Amino acid sequence: METKRWRHKIPWPRSDRRTVALLAIWLALFLLTGCVFLARVLYWPAYESKVDGSSAGPLSFFTKKEALRPGDNLTPGISDGTPSPTPGRLTRVVLTQAAENAFAPGGTLSETEGSPGGIIPFGSGTPLPPGFVPPTPLEARTATPGGTSGPSPTSGTVTATWFIRYFPTRTLVYLPTRTPSPTYTLRANPARTWTFTVTPTTTQTPTPTATATTSPTPTATLTSTPTTTPTITLTPTVIAFSADENGDGTLDLLVIQPDGSGQQVAAQGAQDALLCDWSPDRQRLVFESPRGVPLERQLYFIKKDGTGEQIVPGLPAGQNTQAAWSPDGEWLVFRNHNGMQADLYLVKPDGSSLAQLTNDNFEENDPAWGADSRTVYFISNREDARVEIYSLDAGTLPFAPTRLTFTLEEEAAPRASPDGSTLLFARLDGGQWEVFKAPVSDLSAPLNLTNSSANDAAPSWSADGLTILFVSDRGAGGQVDIYRMNASGGDINRITNSAAVEARPRWIP
């Protein structure tokens, strides 16, 4: 009797056999997947790579990878394995598998055990940005046992690769701009302008006269006949200005020759004696000074030798400043500030005939006379709130100011030429002051005379109209001095060269 095997004893339909076989295969695959997952969790720490250089087998991911050692070369040219410090950039070393998908969005970076020098701070927990996708590697290299690196193989399976990622950050770099400051050399100007004054004098010249007599011997009688002989007296041209000559913190009145020589003190010790103008007879100066209790600026006369100081009589209440003497010597025009109002006034030097030229809520400044002793030029913000040049006729009532400039810039210190044809003034052009001139009939296209990188202001004409004075900070370190130039803006020479700040230079008439 034939003995049947156990599988022959149990009835087993052919369809059930296939079902059992499929279940067995699925169970085996499930167990295999679980073992792989468990092996990866227990034996593959994050950010470690194999460094023995051997070829990876089909099941090489079951083996524990070795961490990077301090001797391994990470960056070409850097032997210690640390990323090169780059100013203004944040450099990170990212270790990844060949699949380059180990970093998931929202994950964190932490220090790898044995990483050289702590490339990524331990436990920093720096979050990756959402949607992070590792970019294409700049260069991929495989670490070898000797700490060197070479190109990744073109075939086979790479066990571990590393990539250098650069995450640039914005770094503000401030580059200092250098503005060249022109250097001017003081040159002595031997040419002096002299004013000739003819003073008539009387001399006695004896003239013999013969007189006949009845006596036998004639006699001669001498009589005197007066004759006039001209005598020439030289009056040198000088410049007056204000500066702190002795360093006591107050302004003094000084006079100097046009070539910078012969500086003398006209008044010293007064409280901030700020020069205004010369008298047409060249004998006196008018200046402003804050005095009294409370301090108020008032106008004063003083002789050019420093004697005879006195307050200008007939001034209105308030502070009185910025006086200008008319060319005929008959009037002073000045600025009065009283309360919230600043207006222009006229007064005779003896204090009589006080007259108010403007009466409004606007600011008037820098009055100056025309050559006709009638026209007054000044600065005002009475239209568009812009500081522009105006003029008015001081001999015609009512006084009606006329606007002469229409610009976006700010003007200051208008000064008419001795012949009255040209107006000189300062303008804030492009953030700095420059000296301009234009015909009095049309100030729409003035000529820039200084055109420098410095501040040039406070222009003043010479008595012959051929030379112009101005104040500039073009000296070394921004030193402020008085300069002179010809009427076309050329041949600029420095007159003063001191640490004191000079102000309001004025030629003697």
* For the chain, domain boundaries: 68-169, 234-507
In sequence order, the 6+-apart residues with CB closer than 8 A to the CB of 274 are 242, 251, 287, 288, 289, 321, 503, 504
**Which pLDDT band holds residue 95 (cuts at 50, 70, 90)?**
very low
| Strand, helix or coil for residue 130 | coil
Cβ neighbours, 10 Å, residue 266: 22
Q: For residue range 142-197, list pLDDT tens digits in order.
A: 444 444 444 444 444 444 444 455 445 444 444 444 444 444 444 444 444 444 44
Picking from 99, 98, 95, the residue whose alpha carbon sits closest to that of residue 114 is 95
**460 has pLDDT over 80:** yes
- CATH topology for 234-507 is Neuraminidase (2.120.10)
Q: What is the Cα 49 distance to its own chain's centre?
A: 58
* pTM for the structure as a whole: 0.56
Q: For residue range 309-340, list pLDDT tens digits in order.
A: 999 999 999 999 999 999 999 999 999 999 88
Helix (H) or strand (E) segment spanning residue 34: helix 14-43
